[in-house]
Amino acid sequence: MHYPSPSNSHHKLYRFHGGLHLPDNKTQSNGRPARAAALPKRLILPLQQHIGEPAHPTVAVGDRVLKGDVIARAQGLISVPIHAPSSGTVIEIGEHPVPHPSGLPAHCIVIETDGLDQWGELPEPIMDFSTRDPATLRQRIRDAGIVGLGGAAFPTSVKLDPRQPVHTLIINGAECEPCITCDDMLMRERAEQVVAGIAILRHLTGAKSCLIGIEDNKPEAVTEMTRAVASSGQEGMEVISIPTLYPSGGEKQLIRVLTGEEVPSSSIPASIGIVCNNVGTAAAVADAVLQGRPLISRYVTVTGEGVGEPCNLEALIGTPVVELIEQTGGYSGRISRLIMGGPMMGFTLHDDSSPIVKASNCLLAASAAESPDPGPALPCIRCGQCASVCPVRLLPQQLYWYARAKDLEKAQEYNLFDCIECGCCSHVCPSHIPLVQYYRSAKNEIWAQEQEKRKAEQARKRHEARLARLARKEAEKQARLKKKKAVLAKKPAGKAKTGAPDPKQAAIEAAMKRAAEKKARLAAEGATPRNTRQLTEAQQRQIDQADARRQAAGKAEAHTEKPVAEEQE
Amino acid sequence: MQFPTITSPHTARPNSVTRTMLWVILALIPGTVAMTWYFGWGILIHMVLATATAVAGEAVVLRLRARPVMPALKDLSAVVTALLMALALPPLLPWWITVIGVVFAIVVVKQLYGGIGYNPFNPAMAGYVLLLVSYPVDMTSWVPPEMLNPHPLDPLQTLSLIFTGQLPTGLDWDAVTAATPLDAMRTELDQNRMISEIRQSPLWGDFGGRGWEWVGNWFLLGGLVLLYKRIITWHIPVSMLAGLLVMAMLFHFIDQETHPFGLFHIFSGGTILGAFFIATDPVTASTTRKGQLIYGASIGVLVYIIRTWGGYPDAVAFAVLLMNLSAPTIDYYTQPRVFGHRDQGDE
């Protein structure tokens, strides 16, 4: 295969199985330059915008925050902080609709902006990054809240700390999904910044080779990036125009196209010495390192027949979707669904008050013509078109069969977890079966079962530990008793006769002696027990009688011990 | 503002079962025209009869099964089954035999197993085989091709013959029917005649029976359309034809006088129709690429074996049904290597 391009005429490209040539619908939104979106009145910042632990709020309702201030800190290794995208006041911390496939609301910090857009204190720019310790730079990237902007939103600092040596850094500018043009516009308009970021990423990974893959339906981006790479003077960095074929922007697919290597199943690219980052992420890294600026805005494509003027906006993270729609001509009246992401992998938003998050690359306000209702699913006719387009070479039809029958073990045997949910199979299915949906739900079910299993396992372990502890205690007790018995058995029966004083007996005697001495001393001092003072006559009489009886009884006892005992019984 | 929640992908789907079936029907047109040209109006009459029976039968069963009737009828799969079966039936077959075959195909073989997508056997071929074993004489009474037919029947005569069994005055059955070339070849070979002798007869053309040998080309044209429209892939037709051809060439090479030339097998009987339209029925075929090659080649080999040593002159239906049985097993053992996996997925 030969693809004319000044930079990659010599670079060998590889194919992955299947894939689709889709109408790319990109010209609607990439005709105008990107512009900054207007400052919204409210910014809604979900605490979980990344893969990993959610961030923990460090502000309270009523606090004033400045642009760039940390408002939630990272919790744990796989997590990043969240920053205030503009200055204002925290007015709420609570549940709010967020862009998530589940459609469930999530915890958000809501900031009412003050319109001043006043910057807080930012960390020092690090201009001489190439002389700095990678750990310092990684910390800076983490502190800036940077996650993969291609869609997965995995904390970038973690990705840049591979355990294996890295030989190749791959920069993903493929942007293979139809309709989305945010990476395209970013590369066209900020190629220098992207390349500066790539240089930092390269320094961090230590990769000798750096390949920037861009689909050939973006010739302007290829030209700009080629120019920026040339003027940066970076050696071994190459912009490569790759054939447009969905999903070549999938991480493993792009690696295959550019290097011919297949990342092993359930492994990360680092296991074969490759790290892959998105162009948007590279630009964010450049901001963070060279300017100290945290990740508080991104390019977002707003497109589809449902909006008036499709275009790209540089929007603050947290801007409600509806405000971006209003700035792009508003709803055109033809909208039938609102999609976050592209038409192949995006998910529908139930509520347009949901905010833009770090991973939001596109808002697709699709008309009924663009996204027609495929109608009810018909039975599978086993045509196998799904298998012929699957980029992972799965057998989607068999997977569907097992997922539907809830035979999860068999589904895993057919490599369910290698599915990248690209949607190619669903797209071509003549029976309009929502295949990907079946795989997602099967995966979720397996995860839930595994969690259940882990819990049960934990409970079992705990139970076993408890039984062991009880058994140990019982054994110890038995051992003690046995030892004691042995000691007792060793002791001669009549120890008193031997003259050896029993320590217990001695202690008792000593105590009695002490009590007697005390009594005598008190008597000598004229003190009597408190409760015998000021007795009435009747009481004194009773006491005397009792004393007399005791004395009589004591005498009797001495002589007739047995009968008394019997009487007591 | 609030919007509906719908799962991805959000694209317009280019494909549908109806579209697939419609292309199969369109691709049958050249072959149907050729068959009608050579063998008369009976072909079309049976197509109409079979289609009406299939649609009515499917509607009744769906109603009995309390399933939506219209979506199932609209997918046109019953029509395809009916058309394929009608093309395989002798043109002057009594109407009720066709009805029995089609009802069996649609009601028993397809719907009783759960309808489209669930039937393990190809309905058209199962229906055909039922008729072949039940009415062997009627099912092997073909008509001579146009150029060899001294008494071609007009549409009304054909209609009357099919529906009432009434032959035009002055004609008897032997005058209007003839054996197929496969049947003729077989009968004569059984009488220990040499192929060079057999082929002296005016029944024979360049490489098959006269008339017959050209029908296959028209079905082939339809098959190429299906390939071009990606309704089918090349794997099953090519491997089936290759399997048959290799067997035929091998035995022809061993003994030219008792084993006809390879192309005779390819362009006789239902080979081409079977390769492009019947063996490729997705529901009952193998679905993995490697599996399809094994499936197709096995049908080809079986066709040769049954034609040469079996009890029936043509064998496409039996071969297809036998391989329908094996398709799930073939699929299981021919899973492709999944991306990022080193070994076969079937370990």
Report DSSP state, residue A246.
Answer: B
Is 80 exceeded by the pLDDT of residue B346? Answer: no
| Residue of B6, B10, B70, B110 for testing the chain A interface, max A β-carbons within 10 Å | B10
Which residues 317-336 in chain A show a CB within 8 A of chain B? 322, 331, 335-336
- If you search the block for the tokens 């201009």, which residue do you land on? A127
With CB atoms and an 8 Å threshold, state whether A347 touches B7.
yes
Is 50 exceeded by the pLDDT of residue A482? Answer: yes
Span A285-317, pLDDT tens digits? 999 999 999 999 999 999 999 998 999 999 999
State the Cα–Cα distance between residues A266 and A412, nearest whole angstrom.
12
Q: Which two tokens stand for residue A250?
A: 């999938």
> DSSP alpha helices (H): ranges in A162-250?
182-189, 191-205, 219-232
Q: Tell me which residue of A342, A268, A245 sits closest to A17, measured CA to CA.
A: A245
Q: Is A412 on the interface with B (CB under 8 A)?
A: no
Neighbours of A188 (CB within 10 A): 20
Average pLDDT over residues A101-112: 91
| Residue of B1, B8, B122 for testing the chain A interface, max A β-carbons within 10 Å | B8
Q: Residue A558 — very low, low, confident or very high, per pLDDT cuts 50/70/90? A: low
State the Cα–Cα distance between residues B201 and B204, nearest whole angstrom.
6
Span B48-101, pLDDT tens digits? 999 999 999 999 999 998 988 888 889 999 999 999 999 999 999 999 999 999
Percent of chain B whose predicted confidence (pLDDT) is above 90: 56
State the Cα–Cα distance between residues A141 and A50, nearest whole angstrom.
14
With CB atoms and an 8 Å threshold, state whether A381 touches B283.
yes
Is 70 exceeded by the pLDDT of residue A82? Answer: yes
Min CA distance, B215 vs chain A (Å)? 27
Query: Kindly report the CA angle at A178 between A373 and A382, in degrees rounded to 5?
Result: 55
Is 50 exceeded by the pLDDT of residue A565? Answer: no
Q: Which two tokens stand for residue A555?
A: 């005498």
Strand order in the sheet with A335-340: A35-36, A311-316, A297-303, A362-367, A335-340, A347-348
* Residues in A touching B116 (Cβ below 8 Å): 378-379, 381
With CB atoms and an 8 Å threshold, state whether B10 touches A366.
yes
Q: Tell me which residue of B154, B109, B148, B158 sits closest to B129, measured CA to CA.
A: B109
pLDDT at position B266 is 87
Strands A168-173 and A274-278: parallel
Q: Tell me which residue of B312, B340, B299 sits closest to B187, measured CA to CA.
A: B312
State the Cα–Cα distance between residues B6 and A348, nearest whole angstrom.
6
Q: Is B14 on the interface with A (CB under 8 A)?
A: yes
With CB atoms and an 8 Å threshold, state whether A369 touches B4.
no
Residue B178 pairs in a beta bridge with: B142
Kindly list the distances between the CA atom of residue B196 and the CA atoms of A393, B260, B263, in Å, as whole numbers in the listed order: 51, 10, 16
Nearest residue of B to residue A423 by CA position?
A: B9
Q: Which two tokens stand for residue A274?
A: 């490759």
Percent of chain A whose predicted confidence (pLDDT) is above 90: 65
Strand order in the sheet with A56-57: A56-57, A70-73, A82-83
Is 50 exceeded by the pLDDT of residue A129? Answer: yes
Q: Is A370 on the interface with B (CB under 8 A)?
A: yes
Nearest residue of B to residue A335 by CA position?
A: B3
The topology under which CATH files domain B17-333 is: Ammonium transporter fold (1.10.3430)
Min CA distance, B8 vs chain A (Å)? 6
ipTM, two decimals: 0.87
Backbone angles phi, psi at A109, to 5 degrees: -100, 125
Average pLDDT over residues A32-49: 92
Strands A362-367 and A311-316: unpaired
pLDDT at position A568 is 45
Question: 3-class SS at A83?
Answer: strand
Q: Which two tokens stand for residue A276?
A: 């892959």
pLDDT at position A493 is 58
Q: Is B328 on the interface with A (CB under 8 A)?
A: no
Work out the angle between the directed axes of helices B29-39 and B77-88 (0-180°, nearest 10).
30
Max CA separation in chain A (angstroms): 128
Q: Is B71 on the interface with A (CB under 8 A)?
A: yes
Min CA distance, B96 vs chain A (Å)? 30
Nearest residue of A to residue B284 by CA position?
A: A382
Q: For residue A105, say if its preceding peptide bond is cis, omega within 30 degrees of 0.
A: no
Kindly list the distances between the CA atom of residue A496 and the CA atoms of A304, A492, A514, in Å, as whole numbers in the listed order: 105, 10, 22
Is 80 exceeded by the pLDDT of residue B208? Answer: no
| Residue of A371, A382, A438 for testing the chain B interface, max B β-carbons within 10 Å | A382
pLDDT at position B141 is 85
Neighbours of A539 (CB within 10 A): 11
Given a contact cutoff of 8 angstroms between Cβ atoms, the answer to whether B142 and B89 are in contact is no
Is 80 exceeded by the pLDDT of residue A494? Answer: no
Q: Is B282 on the interface with A (CB under 8 A)?
A: yes
With CB atoms and an 8 Å threshold, state whether B282 touches A17.
no
Kindly tell me the sign of the dihedral angle through the C-alpha atoms of A363, A365, A369, A373.
positive
Report DSSP state, residue A155.
Answer: B
Is 90 exceeded by the pLDDT of residue A248? Answer: yes
* Residues in A touching B15 (Cβ below 8 Å): 385, 428-430
Is 80 exceeded by the pLDDT of residue A527? Answer: no
A518 membership: H or E segment, kind and range: helix A503-525
Span A394-448, pLDDT tens digits? 999 999 999 999 899 999 999 999 999 999 999 999 999 999 999 999 998 999 9
Amino acid at B318: F
Backbone angles phi, psi at A173, to 5 degrees: -120, 25
Strand order in the sheet with A237-242: A237-242, A209-215, A168-173, A274-278
State the Cα–Cα distance between residues A29 and A304, nearest whole angstrom.
9
Q: Which two tokens stand for residue B128?
A: 């055909």
Work out the angle between the directed axes of helices A191-205 and A182-189 (0-180°, nearest 10).
100
Is 70 exceeded by the pLDDT of residue A3? Answer: no
What is the rounded average pLDDT for all residues in chain A? 88
With CB atoms and an 8 Å threshold, state whether A393 touches B339.
yes
| CA A510 from centroid of its chain's CA atoms | 70
Domain boundaries, chain B: 17-333
State the Cα–Cα distance between residues A16 and A19, nearest whole angstrom.
8
With CB atoms and an 8 Å threshold, state whether B339 touches A378.
no
pTM: 0.81
State the Cα–Cα distance between residues A90 and A107, nearest whole angstrom.
14
